[in-house]
Amino acid sequence: MTESNPADDNQFQVEIISPQPENKCFNLKSFAVIVGFANLLIFSVNSYLGSQITTIEKRFNLASSDSGLLMSGNDIGFLVTSLFLTYLLKDTHRPKLLGISGVLSGLACMICSLPHFVTPKSNAETTSNISAIIVEKELSYCESSMNANETCAQNEVDETTYSKNIAFGLILMSTFFIGVCKSPRTALTTAYIDDNTESVYTNAYISIVTAIGVIGPVLAFIIGGMFSRIYVTLEPTNITPLNPEWIGAWWLGFVVFGVVSVLFSFILCIFPDKKKEIIKKQTRKLSVKDLLLTFGRFFQNPMLIIIALETGINSFNSSGGIAFLPKYFEHEFRWPTWKANIIFGSTLIVMASVGFLFGGTITSFFKMGPKACLKFSVFALFFRLCLYWFCLIDFCPDLETRSNTLLKRSTSLNLTNGFDNTSIDPNAYCLDCECSEDQYEPVCGEDGQMFRSPCYAGCRVKNIKTLTFSDCACVGGNRTAKSGLCPVKCEKDFLVPVILSIVAISSTISLASNTIVVVRSVKESDKTMAISFFSFISSIIGWLPAPPAFGYVVDSSCKTWSKLACEQKGACKEYDMDTFRYRFFLLQCGLSSLAFLLKFVAAVIGLKSKRYFTEEKSEINSAN
End-to-end CA distance of the chain: 49
Confidence of residue 281 (pLDDT cuts 50, 70, 90): very low
The chain-wide mean pLDDT, for the chain, equals 79
- Least confident among 2-11, 60-69, 377-386, 487-496: 2-11
At residue 137, the pLDDT reads 62
* Higher-confidence position of 407 and 44: 44
Determine contact, residues 157/568, Cβ cutoff 8 Å: yes
Lowest mean pLDDT among 74-83, 261-270, 523-532, 589-598: 523-532
pLDDT above 60 for 20:
no
Strand partners of residue 469: 462, 481
Q: For 559-618, what is each residue's pLDDT tens digit?
A: 888 877 676 788 898 899 899 999 999 999 999 999 999 999 999 998 887 766 655 544
Give the integer Cα–Cα distance in Å for 480 and 478. 6
- Give the contacts of 12 (CB within 8 A, at least 6 positions apart): 4, 5, 280, 281, 282, 283
Contacts of 190 (CB under 8 A, 6+ apart): 206
- For domain 23-126+160-275, the CATH superfamily is MFS general substrate transporter like domains (1.20.1250.20)
Contact 544, 79 (CB under 8 A): yes
Instruction: Report the pLDDT averaged over residues 299-303.
Output: 90
d(C-alpha 602, C-alpha 310), whole Å: 9
Model pLDDT for residues 448-464, shown as the tens digit of each residue:
888 888 888 888 888 87
The predicted model gives 414-439 an average pLDDT of 53
**What proportion of the chain, given as a percentage, has pLDDT over 90?**
32
- Give the pLDDT score at 171: 95
pLDDT of residue 310: 94
For residues 458 and 472, the answer to whether their CB atoms sit within 8 Å is yes
pLDDT tens digits for 145-188?
444 444 565 566 667 788 889 999 999 999 999 988 888 787 77
Range 100-121 average pLDDT: 92
| 305 vs 6, higher pLDDT | 305
Task: Give start and end residues of each alpha helix (H) in 112-198.
Answer: 114-118, 123-127, 141-146, 154-182, 185-195
pLDDT tens-place string over residues 545-561: 999 999 999 999 998 88
Q: Specify the pLDDT at position 361.
A: 82
Task: Say whether pLDDT at 435 is over 70.
Answer: yes
State whether residue 470 is helix, strand or coil: strand
Residue 106 binned pLDDT confidence (cut-offs 50, 70, 90): very high
Question: Cα–Cα distance between 270 and 480 in angstroms, integer?
Answer: 64
**What confidence category does residue 418 fall into, taking pLDDT thresholds of 50, 70 and 90?**
very low
Higher pLDDT among residues 42 and 421, named by residue: 42
C-alpha to C-alpha distance for 449 and 474, rounded to whole angstroms: 9
Domain ranges of the chain: 23-126+160-275, 286-396+492-615, 398-405+430-489
**Given this model, what pLDDT does residue 25 score?**
63
Note the pLDDT of residue 498.
94
Coil vs helix vs strand at 611: coil
Q: Is the dihedral of CA 98, 100, 105, 106 positive or negative?
A: positive
Helix (H, G, I), strand (E, B) or coil at 25: coil
Q: Is the pLDDT of residue 229 over 90?
A: yes
Give the separation between CA 480 and CA 27, rounded to whole angstroms: 67
pTM of the predicted model, to two decimals?
0.81
As a three-state string, the secondary structure of 138-158 is ECCHHHHHHCCCCCCCHHHHH
Residue 230 has pLDDT above 70, yes or no: yes
Task: Find the range with the poorest average confidence among 105-119, 309-323, 451-465.
Answer: 451-465
* Predicted local confidence at residue 140, as pLDDT: 64
Q: pLDDT at residue 270 above 60?
A: yes
- The domain 286-396+492-615 having CATH identifier 3.90.1150.110: the answer here is no
Q: pLDDT (tens digit, 9 = 90+) per residue, 24-49?
A: 666 788 888 888 888 888 889 999 99
> Which pLDDT does position 129 carry in this prediction?
52
- What is the CA 420 to chain-centroid distance, rounded? 44
Q: Is pLDDT at 17 greater than 60 in this prediction?
A: no
Looking from the CA of 103 toward its CB, the CA atoms found within 13 Å total 11
Q: What is the pLDDT of residue 90?
A: 59
Domains 23-126+160-275 and 286-396+492-615 are alike in CATH topology: yes
